[in-house]
Structure 1
Amino acid sequence: MRDSFGRGGKLFVVSGPSGAGKGTICKRVKEDLHMDLSISMTTREPRPGEVHGKDYFFVSEEEFLRNIEEGNLLEHAQVYDHRYGTPRDAVMKRLDMKHNVLLEIDIQGGLQVKRSMPESVLIFILPPSLKVLRERLTGRGTDAPDVVEKRLAKALNEIKLIGEYDYYVVNDELDRAVSLTESIIRAEESRVPSKIMPLIRKYEEEE
């Protein structure tokens, strides 16, 4: 279903370096704006408590490869021994229902989505500085010092790709970052569509 101007929902892609806070921001935005979160497809086995179709679409290697061949993945990547991807049909179903969809993904995946769906809106979450990012990564206590340094080096290379994104949000204070991200989404909902005639025709018909 599309609105009276011929538009459906929009796909919003949120990316950022590890430790930038994109997951926390997406969780808040989803709750505040009642958005749909895109569900990824994966070849790994479900962990205890995970539900097919809610946490992930759990599929076999053969089914995943078939989705690639049929062009049904907006992006995909192999992480260690498993494959992950974003199913096009599931996203399009929500967009056609006039639901905005939120996709939290890494930068390379976000750029793949942009190539597949140029109309998607890409938002880059930035840490205030690499110093703050180092403190956040160290504070999590999950990575050894050498792993933290590798993540920082990767973050700097990822930040260099920010010009490929449509918007950026500096996560220096969580409430402010969430508010700014939500403002971007609300503004995009009112963007004049590229195919403007359905909008004009609506008012012409009321004369």
Structure 2
Amino acid sequence: MSEQQEREMIFVFTGPDGSGRKTIAESVGATLGITKVISFATRRPRLGETNGQDYHFITPELYDQFESDGEFIENVSVNGNRYGLRAKDIAYNLKKSGSIYLILNPEGAHALKDTYGDKVIRIFIYADRRTVQERQSEAGIDPAIIASNLNQYESAIRYQASCEHAFENYDLAHTVFDIANTLESYLQRNLEERD
């Protein structure tokens, strides 16, 4: 095993919709210089989302083609939309960067853990039900989508027990600081193994 492979880490930010996992993941990723791997989605971009930055927004037909070609390592349906992550995108970015991060729902986080084992560190981000509802409303998300997300809140919260780390997110700066310090310990541990 090469030094690069020994240092390969996959940090997966997960938790209920509205927990702030995307904002936190991007702040921590920028702070630590970790590469983001982007999933594919068949839905339209929401207000403030950018193609190629938040998701690769593609047609259902192209998604079907990727799926039939066996390209997705993770493939889920949420609120009538499909989300997938290509194995080759993970492999390419791990080889190029050594450590990567992703933002996935609990089902996707579980699929990655099953595939990559100890390389995957799951960071569970959460807030109480009322807070996540308010955040989604403020983001302009369709009320029907919010209602569907809230129906999945309890099952998402239960996934916390499976994750390596969990952080409440009420104070963004504090949460980002705590998570960055936690992940830095993984990165330092692996850098020290290079001797």
TM-score normalized by structure 1? 0.74
State the match for 2:123 in structure 1.
123
In the TM superposition, 1:166-185 aligns within 5 A as: 166-185=164-183
CA distance in 2, matches of 1:34, 1:136: 27
State the match for 2:18 in structure 1.
19
Tell me the CA shift for residue 153 of structure 1: 3.6
Can you list the C-alpha shifts for 1:102-142, whole angstroms capped at 9, x where unaligned?
10011111111111111211110011x33333433444453
Can you list the C-alpha shifts for 1:159-192, whole angstroms capped at 9, x where unaligned?
1121111110111200011111112211112346
Residue 14 of structure 2 contacts residue 109 of structure 2 at CA under 8 Å; is this kept in 1?
yes
Structure 1 range deviating more: 152-161 or 177-186? 152-161
State the match for 1:66 in structure 2.
68
State the match for 1:97 in structure 2.
96
Tell me the CA shift for residue 24 of structure 1: 0.9
Structure of larger gyration radius: 1
CA distance in 2, matches of 1:96, 1:180: 27
Q: Stretches of 4+ moved more than 6 A in 1? A: 44-49
Residue 75 of structure 2 contacts residue 108 of structure 2 at CA under 8 Å; is this kept in 1?
yes
Can you list the C-alpha shifts for 1:26-47, whole angstroms capped at 9, x where unaligned?
1211221222111223456899
Q: Does 1:50 align with 2:51?
A: yes
TM-score normalized by structure 2? 0.78
Stretches of structure 2 lacking an aligned partner (at least 5 in a row): none
Residue 11 of structure 1 contacts residue 101 of structure 1 at CA under 8 Å; is this kept in 2?
yes
Identity of aligned residues (%): 22
CA distance in 2, matches of 1:112, 1:183: 26
State the match for 2:149 in structure 1.
151
Stretches of structure 1 lacking an aligned partner (at least 5 in a row): 194-198
CA distance in 1, matches of 2:54, 2:137: 31
Q: How many corresponding residue pairs?
A: 189
| Secondary structure in structure 2 of the residue aligned to 1:161 | helix
Q: Which structure: greater helix fraction?
A: 2
State the match for 1:32 in structure 2.
31
Residue 15 of structure 1 contacts residue 123 of structure 1 at CA under 8 Å; is this kept in 2?
yes
| Secondary structure in structure 2 of the residue aligned to 1:86 | strand
